[in-house]
């Protein structure tokens, strides 16, 4: 699927998402807000995994970092918009600092190091009890807005962040940095002899990835009004986002968004209809996806449209 087709599809989805709160109830509003949130995390993973080929299994670290930066800032009376900007930028800076040594590791060494980073952050937050609330968790100021309005605002905040993240990925796919990342994903030493500063390219990619993830974490903290390390640094966030990215198609522009939507909606329906066996059914769904759509939904659509146009050419040639 070409970049411009993906962008057109994204624009249609955006228009639908903008009018959706007018027609859905609060339960589905919550589900859709979660879809957007996890799609941002998946889009963040897409940058470091899909483009650069670095398997950051512990990327949820930046979700937690973003959540705690936003939480501490909001408690210090920082305005909401600035708190989210701080969560986004702060996460990027943290990724830059830790990326400098960690991104010299390759393959599974980096994957394990990223998980260790996630675990180390948990310890740091627990031991900074005075600022972060430690093991007790961190309550955030509760918004005076009526709940219906507040939840709609959070919905649009997540949607806005997801739109920006997708635009960043679109821009990245055609940029010099995008070329450099795709080259080093194929062969790191190959990229080096082309003149690519691979360490710099990887650090930049991880900073962009962390910024997206941290932004989602920041909005999530404001949404929940209470955060604690167990849920903010939950490795399950990374895992879910990973599945969504693979399901949609990694290295594509809207794959992670499509994957997040499909997975989360299927999970919600399965959970509400088959409460006792929902994990079993979800597992079977994932196995089916891996077997039937190994490269993701976007690649499946690309293949189908290529076949259609080939068939059309053939018909034209015969006529």
Instruction: Summarize as ranges the residues that interact with other proteins (CB under 8 A).
Output: 176, 179-180, 182-183, 185-187, 189-198
Enclosing H/E stretch for 226? strand 226-227
Nearer to other proteins, 187 or 272 (CB): 187
Nearer to other proteins, 79 or 190 (CB): 190
Taking the CA atoms of the chain, what radius of gyration do you get in angstroms?
20
**249-271 in b/e burial notation, b at 16+ Cβ within 10 A?**
bbbbbbbbbbbbbbbbebbbebe
In the complex, minimum distance from the CB of residue 190 to other proteins, in angstroms, rounded to a whole number = 5
In the complex, minimum distance from the CB of residue 74 to other proteins, in angstroms, rounded to a whole number = 43
Q: What tokens were used for 258?
A: 């499509």
Nearer to other proteins, 40 or 169 (CB): 169
Task: Give residue 291's Cα distance to chain centre.
Answer: 24
258 neighbors 59 (Cβ within 8 angstroms): no
In the complex, minimum distance from the CB of residue 189 to other proteins, in angstroms, rounded to a whole number = 6
Nearer to other proteins, 5 or 185 (CB): 185
| Helix 80-102 with 198-224: angle, nearest 10 deg | 140
DSSP letter assigned to residue 22? G
In the complex, minimum distance from the CB of residue 174 to other proteins, in angstroms, rounded to a whole number = 11
Q: What tokens were used for 212?
A: 């997206």
Nearer to other proteins, 129 or 174 (CB): 174
Three-state secondary-structure class, residue 138: strand
In the complex, minimum distance from the CB of residue 179 to other proteins, in angstroms, rounded to a whole number = 6
Nearer to other proteins, 190 or 283 (CB): 190
Instruction: Give the span between the Cα atoms of 274 and 286, in whole angstroms.
Output: 16
In the complex, minimum distance from the CB of residue 295 to other proteins, in angstroms, rounded to a whole number = 12
């Amino acid at each position: 699927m070409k970049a411009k087709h993906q962008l057109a599809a994204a624009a249609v989805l955006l228009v639908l998402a903008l009018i959706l709160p007018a027609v859905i109830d609060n339960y589905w509003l919550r589900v859709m807000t979660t879809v957007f949130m996890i799609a941002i995390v998946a889009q963040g993973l897409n940058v470091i995994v899909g483009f650069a080929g670095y398997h950051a299994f512990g990327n949820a670290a930046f979700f937690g970092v973003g959540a705690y930066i936003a939480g501490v800032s909001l408690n210090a009376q920082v305005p909401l918009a600035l708190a989210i900007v701080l969560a986004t930028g702060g996460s990027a800076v943290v990724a830059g600092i830790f990326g400098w040594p960690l991104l010299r590791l390759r393959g599974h060494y980096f994957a394990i190091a990223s998980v260790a980073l996630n675990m180390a952050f948990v310890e740091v937050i627990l031991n900074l009890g005075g600022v972060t609330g430690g093991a007790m968790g961190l309550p955030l100021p509760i918004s005076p807005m009526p709940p219906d309005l507040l939840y709609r605002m959070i919905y649009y905040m997540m949607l806005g962040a997801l739109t920006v993240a997708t635009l960043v990925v679109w821009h990245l796919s055609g940029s010099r940095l995008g070329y450099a990342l795709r080259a080093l994903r194929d062969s790191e030493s190959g990229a080096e002899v082309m003149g690519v500063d691979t360490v710099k390219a990887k650090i930049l990619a991880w900073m962009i990835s962390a910024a997206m993830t941290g932004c989602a974490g920041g909005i999530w903290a404001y949404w929940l009004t209470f955060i604690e390390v167990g849920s903010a640094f939950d490795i399950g966030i990374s895992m879910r986002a990973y599945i969504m990215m693979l399901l949609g198609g990694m290295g594509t522009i809207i794959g992670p968004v499509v994957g997040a939507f499909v997975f989360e909606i299927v999970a919600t329906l399965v959970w509400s209809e088959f409460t006792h066996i929902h994990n079993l059914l979800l597992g079977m769904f994932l196995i089916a996806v891996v077997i039937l759509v190994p490269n993701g939904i976007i690649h499946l659509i690309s293949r189908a449209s290529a076949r259609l146009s080939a068939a059309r050419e053939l018909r034209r040639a015969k006529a």
